[in-house]
Amino acid sequence: MPFFTYIQIALYFLAAAGMTVASAHPVHMLQLESYKNRGFRRWVRNNSAHVFRFPVIVSVAGLLLAPVANLIFPARTAGRAISSAVMSLAYIVAMLDYAKRSRVKNAKKPLVMTSRAKRLFAAIALVYVVVCGALWALDAFVLEGTALSGLPLFLLMLLAAAGVLMANTLVSPVEKAVQRWYMNDARRILARRDDLIRIGITGSYGKTSCKFILGTILSEKYNVLVPPASYNTPMGLTRVIREQLKSSHEVFIAEMGARHVGDIRELCELVRPKYGLLTSVGPQHLETFGTIENIAKTKYELIEGLPEDGCAFFPADNEICRELYEKTTIEKHLFGVDYDGAVSARAENIRCGSFGSRFDLVIGEERIACETRLLGKHNIANIVGCACVAYRLGLNPAQIRLGIRKLQPVEHRLQLVPTAGGVTVIDDAFNANPSGVRAAMEVLSAFEGRKIVVTPGLVELGEREAEENRAFGQVMAGVADIVLLVGPKHTKPIYEGLVESGFSESAIQVFKSLSEATEALWKLAKPWDVVIFENDLPDNYNE
Amino acid sequence: MKKNLAVTFGGRTVEHDISIITANQLMHSVDTSKYNVIPIYIDRDGKWYTGEKLMNVGYFQKFDPKTKGIKRVFLSCAADPALYEYGKKQRPICTIDVAIPAMHGLHGEDGTLQGVFELSDIPYSSAGVVGSAVGMDKIVMKAAFKGFGFPVLDSVFFERDEYYSDGDAILNRVEQQLDYPVVVKPANLGSSIGVNIARDRDALVFALDVAAKYDRRLLVEKAVVSIKEVNCSVLGTPTDARVSAIEEPISSGALLGFEDKYLRSEGGSKGMKSLSRKIPAEISDEMADKVRQLSLDIFKALDLKGVVRIDYIIDTAEDKLYVNEVNTIPGSFAFYLWEPVGVSFTDLVDCLVAIAEKQMREKKASEFAFDSTVLQKVASGLKIGTKTSK
């Protein structure tokens, strides 16, 4: 009876189309996870109730009803055809309706129909055509005439997430080829630009800050292309080169991120930098690198990637970086703040105040009096490194000084905030790790005047939390004159740390919320006081 | 026949959103039996769009160029008043009979857009290229006022880079020439964005830092302590202008800030009207006459047209009047200053159209073409000296 067979085939393929259309939501999630299967699986796990509850209910209903219908309407009758068509269509409608309901309304980042997303949808369609074809074959050739006839269709919705995963795996070789093509294209674009000054920046910490500092300083003389914050991977830089690099650009600054040995080499092959700036070597991403030697080796790939007439810059205050400097054979420079040996550029006579930081930049024959709104020794060290590069690239002292003066602090990171009444306020609300907090206390100690710390302490550090907060209190005791703590229970270890280190209990005040603390602060603050807001917590920490 | 009235708004400016509100108020006051309104929205990247939906202010919460009915457009700038659809075909959509720029700040109120209208031969309702440019740059505007003999407050100006390279020298210069309190302003910004008052050197540093984020040219001006601010609007052409009621805006702080000027809302209405103000201003008849006369003089001196708002500062201790600045495209077109003297917003639009068209007739009456034989002479090998008249 071919007529019934046709209807059956039509229903299966309609279901395949329905499943493809209904994949919009999982594809959206996959896109947000940068098309990584691992991230997508994590999303499915974390949202399993939402992902599976409704499909399971509907599918089970279908699986139970189908045999009932099989009993009522014998095979190859009009009744059977109608009942299976009605049930199948209801199933497809439920599928689409569910997809529509799970779509994220007013998503911050809605699904973008990029070429990649389109390729993925094509693959999804292919996967479902094959799956439905197989299910139909099972239905038509194995289950035909049995009580289970018509059942396979109702398995489809259970496969939703798996179908998307499968399709994503299927297109991955295609995507790799596409990426390779884009990267080669970026390389071709750069190959035509012999005039372009290419600078690579890498390091465990501070490379993003350095990228922006160097970009600001070099803009006093050149047209500089500085990629946005997180663009430090081969694909990220490829995109910037293909989309943003204009013939008017004279300098390209590439921040190079690494998680594995070989990452920087790959980036160097793409960018072919002539100048390399190393910011630091430390135990960042130690879990993927294994050893600190591997980290140093990977960072050094930048220097190895420089040509014979290239030029490398190393921070003198970092011992590992000094060793790397020693073994470098091309033109090389050291820069630093604390290191006593010979360097190409150093900062001397550093002072802090309501103006920010002032220091003398000693570079070549020059001594340049500099001022910046940035605070903290790590920032000064980064500035000196970038100034060293800028000097090498022909900026004169006036340009370097001007560029340094124009640097803007990142919001809520040791940011000087204007206030009336002569009180200096430092907003360090985004600082949330123990070493950062210690650096902030060091910055505060460099200020003159009465020092006030307002803080709810550190959170989300697990079992180390109490211990770290106690240590925070101990450091604070040596710096602060007045401490305002937010959250009595949570800040108890800080309180204890302060008192243990001999801090006067009468100079500590504890509040239930930040608003209470600030209210008290403005009552006691006087001109020349320096106030630092250290870390900020979400509202749910108000006690 | 109905005229095609283009209203441009948005733009690459910090006052992008305010412009949307100003344009919206105007578009909904237009007499639709006389005009087809063509909204032209310029997005933050400078791309131009048109479409029915752009009449609705709520739509801008989620502007999307891919929305059905939204077309990207452009002007050819080739003495051709047609609006073209952007894309491969580039076909003209309609002819623009008159344009009302409802733009605030840079890239719209400063003469740049006016230049585009001049090139396109489109009659437009705001001041011309020179008037708009002078009205935008507070430093040049002050110099112009001084040159014409209008009273202005003492001030010091400098480049941002001068301040950055030797801050102390600049601070000393300011302190030598002016007494605190002073007001710091970016030179090229409308509204009060980036404007701050400073009572001591520390505050001056912060005020300069803020202003320097917005502009390359900075102005520091003596602040009047016993201050009364009054504003007056002028409507017309340099030779045929009239003045509005005089208002006294009430600011919540020492200075009318951006939030004050645009966002304080009473009774739910949007834009300038909701700012608390006294109309008419509480000033003597004599002072009011002075303001009105000065307004007309300024309008003529700066070659303004359309509807402008001129802001004044009165030092009440000394009973002295100073002109502060001109807004060549004021927020809400200052309609609230015209309603009290019997000009509705709808009448105001009619006036703006008439002004634009008159100016275009004047322009066309002047000669552009001049039959020159220079090129023929060159072609026939005659030597042309550098002194040949242009």
Hey, are the CB atoms on A418 and B167 less than 8 Å from each other?
no
- Cα–Cα separations (whole angstroms), residue A434 to A207, A380, A383: 20, 20, 23
**pLDDT at position A68:** 87
Hey, are the CB atoms on B210 and A418 less than 8 Å from each other?
yes
User: Given B202, B209, B210, which is nearest A422 (Cβ)?
Assistant: B202
Domain that includes residue A533, residue range = 415-541
Query: Does B319 have pLDDT greater than 60?
Result: yes
Contacts of A405 in chain B (CB under 8 A): 164-165, 167
Contacts of A406 in chain B (CB under 8 A): 164
**In this complex, is the C-beta atom of A396 within 8 Å of any C-beta atom belonging to chain B?**
no
Asked if residue A206 and residue A160 are part of one domain, the reply reads: no
Asked if residue A468 and residue A400 are part of one domain, the reply reads: no
**pLDDT at position A537:** 67
Q: Tell me the C-alpha distance between A87 and A111, whole Å.
A: 31
**Do A496 and A399 meet the contact criterion of CB atoms below 8 Å apart?**
no
CA angle B18, B22, B25 (to 5 degrees): 140
> Per-residue confidence of chain A (543 residues) as pLDDT tens digits?
577 788 888 889 999 999 999 999 899 989 888 888 888 898 888 888 888 888 899 899 888 888 888 888 887 788 888 888 888 899 999 988 888 888 777 777 788 888 889 999 999 999 999 999 999 999 888 888 788 888 888 888 888 889 999 999 999 999 999 999 999 999 999 999 989 999 999 998 888 899 999 999 999 999 999 998 778 899 999 999 999 999 999 999 999 988 888 999 999 999 999 999 999 998 878 878 888 899 999 999 999 999 999 999 999 999 999 999 999 999 999 999 999 999 999 999 999 888 899 999 999 889 999 999 999 999 999 999 999 999 999 999 999 999 999 998 888 889 888 776 678 899 998 877 888 888 899 999 989 889 999 999 887 777 788 899 999 999 999 999 999 999 898 899 999 999 999 999 999 999 988 888 988 998 888 888 999 999 876 555 555
Mean pLDDT over B255-266 rounds to 44
Hey, are the CB atoms on B165 and A405 less than 8 Å from each other?
yes
Dmax over CA atoms of chain A, in Å, equals 99
Classify each residue of B156-187 as buried b or exposed e, where b means 16 or more C-beta atoms within 10 Å of its C-beta: bbbebbebbbbbeebbebbbeebeebbbbbbb
Domain count, chain A: 3
User: Given B161, B167, B206, which is nearest A418 (Cβ)?
Assistant: B206
**In this complex, is the C-beta atom of A354 within 8 Å of any C-beta atom belonging to chain B?**
yes
Hey, are the CB atoms on A373 and B210 less than 8 Å from each other?
no
Q: Tell me the C-alpha distance between B11 and B49, whole Å.
A: 11
Q: Tell me the C-alpha distance between A332 and A355, whole Å.
A: 33
Contacts of B202 in chain A (CB under 8 A): 354, 422
- For testing contact with chain B, the best of A105, A395, A405 (most B CBs within 10 A): A405
Query: Does B257 have pLDDT greater than 60?
Result: no
Angle between helices A78-102 and A2-21 (to 10 degrees): 0
Asked if residue A232 and residue A140 are part of one domain, the reply reads: no
Write out the H or E segment, with its range, that includes residue A103: none
Contacts of A105 in chain B (CB under 8 A): none
Contacts of B165 in chain A (CB under 8 A): 398, 401-402, 405
Asked if residue A401 and residue A420 are part of one domain, the reply reads: no
Asked if residue A251 and residue A106 are part of one domain, the reply reads: no
Q: Tell me the C-alpha distance between A20 and A166, whole Å.
A: 13
Q: Which residue has the higher pLDDT, B368 or A77?
A: A77
Of the pLDDT bands very low, low, confident and very high (cuts 50, 70, 90), residue B251 is: low
- Cα–Cα separations (whole angstroms), residue A215 to A201, B165, B275: 11, 18, 42
Q: Tell me the C-alpha distance between A287 and B226, whole Å.
A: 66
In a domain, A188, yes or no: no
Final residue before a domain boundary, out of A379, A405, A431? A405
DSSP B265: -
Hey, are the CB atoms on A402 and B167 less than 8 Å from each other?
no
Q: How buried is residue B15: exposed, middle or buried, by Cβ count under 10 Å (0-12/13-18/19+)?
A: buried
In a domain, A88, yes or no: yes
Which residue, chain included where needed, has tokens 């001999």? A502
**In this complex, is the C-beta atom of A507 within 8 Å of any C-beta atom belonging to chain B?**
no
In a domain, A9, yes or no: yes
Classify each residue of A420-440 as buried b or exposed e, where b means 16 or more C-beta atoms within 10 Å of its C-beta: eeebbbbbbbebbebebbebb
Nearest CA in chain A to B62: A106
Torsion sign, CA atoms A235, A236, A239, A240: negative
Asked if residue A450 and residue A483 are part of one domain, the reply reads: yes
**pLDDT at position A541:** 57
Of the pLDDT bands very low, low, confident and very high (cuts 50, 70, 90), residue B264 is: very low
Token readout for A357 is 């930081």
Which residues are CB-neighbours of B183 under 8 A, at least 6 positions away? B195, B196, B197, B198, B220, B221, B222, B223, B255
DSSP A138: I
**Do B114 and B103 meet the contact criterion of CB atoms below 8 Å apart?**
no
Query: Does B274 have pLDDT greater than 70?
Result: no
Torsion sign, CA atoms A162, A167, A170, A173: negative
Q: Name beta bridge partners: A358.
A: A351, A371
Final residue before a domain boundary, out of A345, A371, A405? A405
Q: Tell me the C-alpha distance between A345 and A367, whole Å.
A: 10
**In this complex, is the C-beta atom of A406 within 8 Å of any C-beta atom belonging to chain B?**
yes
Hey, are the CB atoms on A402 and B165 less than 8 Å from each other?
yes
In a domain, A144, yes or no: yes
Query: Does B5 have pLDDT greater than 90?
Result: yes
In a domain, A99, yes or no: yes
Query: Does B313 have pLDDT greater than 90?
Result: yes
The domain that holds A349 is classified in CATH as 3.40.1190.10
Q: Please give the distance of CA A281 from its chain centroid, rounded to a whole number.
A: 20
Contacts of A402 in chain B (CB under 8 A): 161, 164-165
Hey, are the CB atoms on A354 and B202 less than 8 Å from each other?
yes
Backbone φ, ψ for residue B108 (5° rounding): -175, -45
In a domain, A533, yes or no: yes
Of the pLDDT bands very low, low, confident and very high (cuts 50, 70, 90), residue B72 is: very high
A residues 416..455 contacting B (CB < 8 A) = 418, 420, 422
Q: How buried is residue B389: exposed, middle or buried, by Cβ count under 10 Å (0-12/13-18/19+)?
A: exposed
Query: Does B267 have pLDDT greater than 50?
Result: no
- Chain A and chain B share a number of CB contacts under 8 A equal to 22
Hey, are the CB atoms on A405 and B164 less than 8 Å from each other?
yes
Asked if residue A397 and residue A275 are part of one domain, the reply reads: yes
Write out the H or E segment, with its range, that includes residue B185: strand B182-186
**Do B8 and B102 meet the contact criterion of CB atoms below 8 Å apart?**
yes
**pLDDT at position A353:** 86
User: Given B167, B203, B213, which is nearest A371 (Cβ)?
Assistant: B167
Domains and CATH numbers, chain B: 3-124 (3.40.50.20), 154-222 (3.30.1490.20), 227-360 (3.30.470.20)
Q: Tell me if residue B234 falls in helix, strand or coil.
A: strand
**In this complex, is the C-beta atom of A405 within 8 Å of any C-beta atom belonging to chain B?**
yes
Q: What is the pTM of this model?
A: 0.77
Nearest CA in chain A to B166: A402
**In this complex, is the C-beta atom of A402 within 8 Å of any C-beta atom belonging to chain B?**
yes
Mean pLDDT over B351-364 rounds to 93
Contacts of B203 in chain A (CB under 8 A): 418, 420
Asked if residue A151 and residue A218 are part of one domain, the reply reads: no
Q: Tell me if residue B213 falls in helix, strand or coil.
A: helix
Asked if residue A145 and residue A225 are part of one domain, the reply reads: no
The domain that holds A507 is classified in CATH as 3.90.190.20
User: Given A354, A406, A422, which is nearest B164 (Cβ)?
Assistant: A406
**Do B181 and B149 meet the contact criterion of CB atoms below 8 Å apart?**
no
| Weakest mean pLDDT among A437-451, B350-364, B369-383 | B369-383
Hey, are the CB atoms on B161 and A401 less than 8 Å from each other?
no
Asked if residue A68 and residue A164 are part of one domain, the reply reads: yes
Of the pLDDT bands very low, low, confident and very high (cuts 50, 70, 90), residue B271 is: very low
Hey, are the CB atoms on B202 and A406 less than 8 Å from each other?
no
- For testing contact with chain B, the best of A216, A402, A411, A529 (most B CBs within 10 A): A402
DSSP string, B57-81: GGGGGG--TTSTT-EEEEE--SS--
Quick: pLDDT tens for B168-223.
Answer: 999 999 999 999 999 999 998 766 778 888 888 888 988 898 899 889 999 999 99
Measured in angstroms, the CA of B83 and the nearest CA of chain A are apart by 29
Q: Tell me the C-alpha distance between A188 and A176, whole Å.
A: 18
Q: Tell me the C-alpha distance between A197 and A199, whole Å.
A: 7
**Residue type at A430?**
F
Asked if residue A209 and residue A305 are part of one domain, the reply reads: yes
**In this complex, is the C-beta atom of A367 within 8 Å of any C-beta atom belonging to chain B?**
no
**Residue type at A67?**
P
In a domain, A183, yes or no: no
Contacts of B210 in chain A (CB under 8 A): 418
What is the pairing mode between strands A311-315 and A331-336? parallel
Residue among A151, A60, A67, A53 at smallest CA distance from A98: A53
**Do B281 and B247 meet the contact criterion of CB atoms below 8 Å apart?**
yes
Final residue before a domain boundary, out of A382, A405, A428? A405
Mean pLDDT over B144-158 rounds to 96
Q: Tell me the C-alpha distance between B76 and B92, whole Å.
A: 10
Asked if residue A165 and residue A199 are part of one domain, the reply reads: no
Which residues are CB-neighbours of B75 under 8 A, at least 6 positions away? B48, B82, B83, B84, B116, B119, B120, B122
Contacts of A408 in chain B (CB under 8 A): 213
H-only helix segments in A393-487: 397-405, 434-445, 465-477
Hey, are the CB atoms on B165 and A406 less than 8 Å from each other?
no
In a domain, A148, yes or no: yes
What is the pairing mode between strands B240-249 and B196-198? unpaired
**In this complex, is the C-beta atom of A355 within 8 Å of any C-beta atom belonging to chain B?**
yes
Quick: pLDDT tens for A428-459.
Answer: 988 778 888 888 999 999 898 899 999 998 87
Q: Tell me if residue B358 falls in helix, strand or coil.
A: helix
